[in-house]
Amino acid sequence: MPYPIAHVMFFVFCICAVAVYTTVAGLLRRTITTEQTPRLLLLLLIGSFFALYPDITAPYNYLVHGTLEHTTVGLVPTHSLLFSFSALLFGVLIGYAIYREFARALYVGLFAESASLSHLLLDDLAGARIYYFYPISDIAFSVFSRVDVELACMNRIYYMLSSYVVVLFISFVIMLALFSLSHLGFEFRYRSEK
Q: Closest by alpha carbon to 14, among 106, 105, 114, 164?
A: 114
Alpha-carbon distances of 117 from 122, 134, 151, 174, rounded to whole Å: 9, 15, 26, 10
* pLDDT tens figures, 127-164: 888 888 888 988 888 887 766 655 556 677 777 777 88
* pLDDT tens figures, 88-132: 999 999 999 999 999 999 999 999 999 999 999 999 888 888 888
Q: Closest by alpha carbon to 55, among 126, 138, 108, 103?
A: 126
What pLDDT, on a 0 to 100 scale, did the predictor assign at position 150?
Answer: 58
Mean pLDDT of 7-21: 87
